[in-house]
Structure 1
């Protein structure tokens, strides 16, 4: 069955593309992002799940302790791909405004060959992936709906996806995550002699919670999107890790590992249906919530000639990925971004470290009045409402600290975070005026 699926993919890979000139000795870049995959899902972070390949990536690279996304899928993806906070450019769930420039656009213009495979959910126009800078694409939820006529999910068993804009219905017994990964492996082989960029927004581990081909009870039938037995979640995590291993093994086989920047992260917190264990204690998924279990995600990076076996405790957020990728590629970082490149940190340098993180979050009713807005440091979080929390000691943010009970240090941090929120309020005002 596997060979049959690859032959189907090969037919769809035959489209020709015009590549820009070779940009010298630029490194290859692979960005892998698991879906609904919180910080607690990685063994190296103290989680209970079996993730040997990702753990190995951490051991040989850098593991970041404080990377924060938005609490939900599309808001995180828009922020990640554009380097801007949602207050600037988020207009609707499952949409990326076509006027935006993504990291793929920038790399493509610099001569990189680019590929995306996995979950799209950013616009149904047939040319959308190409418009946003991807030469090749293998995507679920591109031009087609996320569910079939029986309202069952189409990303896993017997998937429906678009390959380079053309819809393919894969046969019974096929497994979507294998197809996305095989597409990427083929792309890497085809472009091993030129600089490439791979963006791999995985389908795993989003619900439905299904068995995988490695599960004892594997059954290739579709399930309703928000159903499934959470008992299968551990198998989904394990399969996620396996696919990361496939990518790393291919780089090793092709002698590309020493010239490829590999970044692994998750788009937001784990589903609330999942209760995991982190450092020996129960940890409930917080997807959709602005508390840490909804926004704290893994970040593990392997960088050519970078640090190895290190743990980084600096703040990172999703606006930082685009400028980091640009700096790694040796191209100019565009003006007007909110992100800070953490590429120097991969080399052991400590200049221009982020001191705060900002969030504007209104995924469905996209208006400033409905937005949850906050700024945070490592320990403290201030909401636009004025609620101020010590998240280190109040993880679920149940008891805001009143002004009259704040220490001198807390008042100083409160004022600093308040200035950060105020900095972006003018953009919130502009959003209101455009309505």
Structure 2
């Protein structure tokens, strides 16, 4: 007899309810998290160059969430899923070093009567860690001890997998993990189970799949699209196995990604081109697809979902009483939303990554360095607001989000967080009067050899507040090559001009100025100083003749974006900084 779904519908005008049930009627839970696939890589999100028919079909029977945020890299995201905690609290280091204060999710579900398995990618510890974290079975791509070159060589074909404690070689790794996942489903069809299924696809290296037409293809864009299609095929096999075993209706299926896409161009139905942002805290680094299939009802929700929330949600679905959830769990159960309830469960999301942090709600995003962005008007985060440039709306949002961040960083609840001292020091530093402001950033698309330069206007009015101070302009240029992710380079600024209410008061010609790169230690983004060629002195804005009553101070940048042979790809981003020097 197939197990009954633990969601039951009430009468007309009565909200559906989730009831605690004996183990024989508890829903199975399958968590599918693919690698390096951002929000834009599934065709149900109106991406034109990706075909995901199985995932699309699943979405029609699911609750689709449009505002789910992962961390920008895989390990921290996986840590949040299995622990239910912010990485600020427990993430010690790469490859699953976690400060444990509560049972992991597999342990919690195992104690509730679930069979448990982990298949696919791991990155959460040594060979004993799957069992230690509560998994009965595992078949995991095994990176430990491999050099970077070997990882690239054996990432997919002849790939090493840790299969229940023993290393085996797989002709094509994702196929082995999928086969073992389906075998686990079949074996446990008569009892509740939790399957943590996290394929290595679509992580680089971007190479042909068994279904690719050209097995010798080296084009990353083509191969990445094929890898997404193959991932969709594997998801379809999981769904088919559930239906073959007669347990599809009683299974909760989650599909998501662990962080933003690494690279390549993703063309959306409305003409927008999205480039991968893996490793960055921007929308392209954190925003991922999320659908949850429960009773077959389709709905689309814009509620905020944190990856720490999966823990509390799965425990809720399994009938674990809320009182049995450890108080150090940061996640919030969104099971009420899956039942059709309409409520706000989270007012904000918090993210800690590489010493930085942000808090966001559905409209605004506030960084620890006091930048705030209007995500509705500026989703790519090109135009920051600071206290001196706030609108009434951003000022109100700043106050609320700053209070949330203060509570997390300084509050009693996180007094034992692994990164508390580090983040508290950063937080306190940014409470002092700022010496540097990001004026903004801008993407320039379709750059060719014929596109010699672009002009960019920025309003500096809120920032040049001290007439007797010296200010320094800094620029950074980044671009994407065909087969790599973000690259930073020297940029030639042809002319920099400052205008007061449209009248030029400062100008530097290309014969007297250039840019040089000054990388910061352990920082991805090198800063670029604008300097004099002859004296090597920094360009200062001291002595600018800014007339009294000036309403608008505009910085005009003429940048040389010469692109011979398309060596920089077709997108270049410029960043502009203004620093007060005294």
TM-score interval w.r.t. the shorter chain? Answer: 0.7 to 0.9
> Per the alignment, do residues 288 and 144 of structure 1 end up closer, same or farther by CA in structure 2, a change over 3 Å counting?
same
Q: Which SS does the other structure have where 2:25 is aligned?
A: coil
After superposition, give the CA deviation of every residue in 1:213-242 in whole Å (9 maximum; x if it has no partner): 10112369xxxxxx9733211100000000
1:61 CA displacement = 1.3
Residue in 1 aligned with 2:539? Answer: none
Say how many residue pairs are matched. 392
> Per the alignment, do residues 278 and 88 of structure 1 end up closer, same or farther by CA in structure 2, a change over 3 Å counting?
same
Among residues 108, 111, 119, which one is paired with 1:109 in the alignment?
111
If the length of structure 1 is used for normalisation, what is the TM-score? Answer: 0.85
> Per the alignment, do residues 146 and 379 of structure 1 end up closer, same or farther by CA in structure 2, a change over 3 Å counting?
farther
Residue in 2 aligned with 1:190? Answer: 187
8 Å CA contact retained: 1:79, 1:85: yes
8 Å CA contact retained: 2:91, 2:418: no
1:248 CA displacement = 0.4
8 Å CA contact retained: 1:87, 1:428: no
> Per the alignment, do residues 255 and 144 of structure 1 end up closer, same or farther by CA in structure 2, a change over 3 Å counting?
farther
> Per the alignment, do residues 277 and 317 of structure 1 end up closer, same or farther by CA in structure 2, a change over 3 Å counting?
same
Which has the bigger relative contact order, CA under 8 A and spacing at least 6?
1
**d(CA) in 2 for partners of 1:130, 1:145:** 22
Residue in 2 aligned with 1:28? Answer: 28
Q: Which SS does the other structure have where 1:67 is aligned?
A: strand
Higher helix share: 1
Q: Which SS does the other structure have where 2:376 is aligned?
A: coil
Specify the structure having the higher radius of gyration (Cα). Answer: 2
Stretch deviating more after TM superposition (413-422 or 181-190): 413-422
Q: How does 1:153-192 map to 2 (within 5 A)?
A: 153-170=153-170, 174-192=171-189
Residue in 2 aligned with 1:78? Answer: 79
**d(CA) in 1 for partners of 2:241, 2:212:** 24
Provide the aligned C-alpha RMSD in A. Answer: 2.1
Q: Which SS does the other structure have where 2:37 is aligned?
A: coil
Residue in 1 aligned with 2:237? Answer: 246
Residue in 2 aligned with 1:377? Answer: 361
Q: Which SS does the other structure have where 2:321 is aligned?
A: coil
**d(CA) in 2 for partners of 1:94, 1:146:** 14
- Unmatched tracts of structure 2, length 5 or more: 1-21, 423-582
**d(CA) in 2 for partners of 1:315, 1:37:** 19
1:158 CA displacement = 1.2
After superposition, give the CA deviation of every residue in 1:406-428 in whole Å (9 maximum; x if it has no partner): 33332221111111111111348
**d(CA) in 2 for partners of 1:415, 1:425:** 15
**d(CA) in 2 for partners of 1:139, 1:151:** 14
**d(CA) in 2 for partners of 1:291, 1:433:** 23
**d(CA) in 1 for partners of 2:42, 2:168:** 33
Q: Which SS does the other structure have where 1:29 is aligned?
A: strand
> Per the alignment, do residues 394 and 120 of structure 1 end up closer, same or farther by CA in structure 2, a change over 3 Å counting?
same
If the length of structure 2 is used for normalisation, what is the TM-score? Answer: 0.64
8 Å CA contact retained: 1:37, 1:267: yes
1:392 CA displacement = 2.3
Q: How does 1:358-373 map to 2 (within 5 A)?
A: 358-362=350-354, 371-373=355-357
